[in-house]
Structure 1
């Protein structure tokens, strides 16, 4: 674990140094082929850096955060935050809006902000649930495979939520940023494809190729993440997972456009169907590539190693009572 932490520090030190190079040198080169040539080594470096980390629990978040570079803002710290974290600058409403005239919106102390308090409580609850799931893995030999898959689904969801919250909380507290990971595909893929398709097939059906493009890009992005997890050639199962979701989403859009508001399923029916579809597709296409390569076992083993590492270091830090 000591060596892995050192590798993690080296990787992120290299990332910060590379971003400083982009901020001070590449950003001052006029847009065009010359800037791209100066930027290509950094793009290649960011692709290879996660491979220097052996721990899956450390390599996965590192690969996820090293995303595309963005235009540099005025401050270096802002640029590093945007490039390394799934956040964007928070846009404050104009001063002359009605909301700002409302006294309830004026000078609310941070300590009295119920939203931040509720988020903190929710984060603690998620951490507790994740700890319970990790503890439940001790009984894996006695659990049904479907129960294990359910635990894996909850594990991934909770782990991603906690990592994102912990990674973005300091920057949000200092600068006021919004999480962007949940809607990154809409401005980068969906909207451009939708606008282009509107000129070819009309605005009514322009959303269909846009939806397909977004799902396809998401599938290919997950293949890259899976490669960092497994370090084996892709089997394209996770891509088909998103293609399957694309097919059913397109069918749903077409049906809704055809029937308009004349008929629709009640939420009591549509929501269980959606959850059931995602659960079946996950067991069929999302998890097999990870399970076949033993990623789930390695992740669970790393938690035990991490716990032992923390216990040993805590015991070394605590003063010994020799009396």
Structure 2
């Protein structure tokens, strides 16, 4: 009984802290919105934003859950900070002068963008996903959670594959929820996140057009573009994208290490960094080979897709997925599912008990009222 009371208190404290943090985020973004109107772009505006950037790096340390903490860390420390760094130089989605105050705040901390009308009927819309898309993914997540109960009897590599799909499906569901709310309340659209990454034909296709598209676009103004400008003066325009791509992967590596520190509060092993550095070298090598071949000797999709996915999966098993298990993300996630389920059960049980009590009291008092 005492354990249940302690768990409920912990959950209530986490939710209370979560609300306070997001109130702080909204107030901070309001400050940045006003500052961007009066402070000239460049170093002066950047210095004006630095206190908020530092605050956004500290806020996730007050959360300890996998879901609320991990989601807040990604949205606040990563997305919001890099959008503010872009805004300091009038770049990125927050630099749009037509944004209303609510739209500025929403776009500042969530993976959404302002919707624009389609200029011509000739431009085809992206086909809508099947109505069964999200229910199917919810069902698969439930199946994965059930399979994890037998993880002691399964190959660890299989568990890693299932957990990879689990994370992918969870991200899509969370982002779809954010998109629905943003569209209905503010008329905003979700920034595209995934585009069938299992169909990638190259590392350039995987990282640039199919996986984590939103993060790629967020890192482009504050990281890739300045690195491209500098490297153009050093190595020339033809080869400038290669060091720019590598710099972007270095920043992404450091941000992933930070996110996992928020999740586990453990000293980094830098395996995650090596994963992104490896791909940060592999991708420029691939781009360089394409430039040299200039369209000659292209591999058919039936060969290039398995090669690409195989390389991503092998390196992920080696360097990426172990970090998830080191911070016990799967165990903690299931504990949070159970805690929330127990909390809702107690909450609904108390509501039903209260309703029954009032109903019974009414029945007892009814004869006296009728008399």
TM-score range with shorter-chain normalisation?
0.7 to 0.9
Aligned to 2:17: 7
Number of matched pairs: 309
Aligned to 1:56: 66
The structure-2 alpha-carbon separation of the partners of 1:28 and 1:151, relative to structure 1 and needing over 3 Å to count, comes to same
Aligned structure 1 segments of 4 or more residues deviating by more than 6 angstroms? none
Aligned to 1:110: none
CA deviation profile, 1:23-42 (whole Å, cap 9, x unmatched): 34564344466644543332
The structure-2 alpha-carbon separation of the partners of 1:83 and 1:143, relative to structure 1 and needing over 3 Å to count, comes to same
CA deviation profile, 1:286-307 (whole Å, cap 9, x unmatched): 1223322323321222122122
Deviation, structure 1 residue 79: 1.1
Q: How does 1:157-196 map onto structure 2 within 5 Å?
A: 157-173=168-184, 174-179=186-191, 181-182=214-215, 183-196=217-230
Aligned to 1:272: 306
Task: Work out which of the residue numbers 158, 165, 168 in structure 2 matches 1:154.
Answer: 165
**158-167 vs 27-36, which moves further:** 27-36
State the alpha-carbon separation in 2 of the partners of residues 237 and 48 from structure 1.
24
Task: Work out which of the residue numbers 100, 103, 122 in structure 2 matches 1:99.
Answer: 122
- Asked if the contact 1:241–1:281 (Cα under 8 Å) also holds between the matched residues in 2, the reply is yes
Deviation, structure 1 residue 252: 1.6
Question: Are positions 1:215 and 2:249 aligned together?
Answer: yes
Task: Work out which of the residue numbers 113, 123, 134 in structure 2 matches 1:88.
Answer: 113
Aligned to 1:122: 133
Question: Are positions 1:307 and 2:341 aligned together?
Answer: yes
Deviation, structure 1 residue 311: 2.4
Deviation, structure 1 residue 238: 0.8
TM-score (norm 1): 0.85
Question: Are positions 1:47 and 2:57 aligned together?
Answer: yes
State the alpha-carbon separation in 2 of the partners of residues 258 and 36 from structure 1.
40
- Asked if the contact 1:219–1:243 (Cα under 8 Å) also holds between the matched residues in 2, the reply is yes
CA RMSD between the two structures: 2.7
Aligned to 2:100: 75
Deviation, structure 1 residue 98: 5.8
Aligned to 2:235: 201
Structure 1 unaligned segments of length 5 or more: list them: 106-112
Give 1 or 2 for the bigger CA radius of gyration: 2
Aligned to 2:30: 20
TM-score (norm 2): 0.75
CA deviation profile, 1:82-104 (whole Å, cap 9, x unmatched): 1110222233344xx4638xxxx
- Asked if the contact 1:216–1:242 (Cα under 8 Å) also holds between the matched residues in 2, the reply is yes
Question: Are positions 1:250 and 2:299 aligned together?
Answer: no
